[in-house]
Structure 1
């Protein structure tokens, strides 16, 4: 997919925290949907002029029963990418089954990853991949370091998420679907401008 820019107004977020916080008002677009069983991977490369606490961008994945398409907000979701925290962007992954949990890690950019100052496009690449081994199935979240031609130089594991594939079918055989979207959000309500995120790429692969 060609490069594009998405915006998120102040006060937008996706977050669920006990006892009562359940926010789902980030702008969602360019969604790719398909059967959860056929999902293979999703990848996005993006950057922004991060400035406000919790500014965030990356990938959003929403698994749900096919009959629950109209349920809002969705019960389960995953978001992963970058989040601006303690004055700098961090690698970030949030998984929500009942309530959300959040993991963050330090970010350092190689020379090839630094976004060109005159373009504002480039930056970090995040990938979510279906994987399996002798212990079972899961989604793995990776940060990818790419070369100038887009080849993978290094695949850095960030998090394994197991619960999402436990419900590919419920007890009655109902099929689950997965929505995959680029993520942008600016939770800070006092911000005076929208967060603009430049996506160099966004791609989702499904089993044929």
Structure 2
């Protein structure tokens, strides 16, 4: 597939939004862990920066938040605001899964666009999109001593990310604009993830006879 580079402005805006949303969702998940602000910052930054860091290392490109410290400030600000607000309002248990789904969609789109712009094969681009989307959440769950969400049945986590990435790549191949393709891919990720949360959709699980 011929690489179709996405505008840097679109990637930048989506990436910044993804960092903020994922950092906030990470803080919400720590509610029952009774972490202090330092713990929340560690979990929030690992969640919001982890997937993109691994993607950049695999692509042998400068790590995004080292090249532009605005991503780091964005993550810190999102963690701080969420930490303060969550202490003053009642937060329903499990609320983090909704912003987490939004963050998964945003990071999947960003990761896929960056991989396509780097000129890698479409299949590699789709897997790099999944890495960008799910690795941060895996780090978050490990740090708060939970089974990673991507490993739990009834989540369609990585599956939603991969299908969204394939949708984005297919739309680009059909000649769609970058914004339209990103919207389609993100909508697939978000729609599948929210449907899995609502109706407990799941893939077949392994059971030995």
What's the TM-score once normalised by structure 2's chain length?
A: 0.32
TM-score norm. by structure 1 comes to 0.32
The structure richer in strand per residue is 1
Which has the larger helix fraction? 2
Structure number with the bigger relative contact order (C-alpha 8 A, sep ≥ 6) is 1
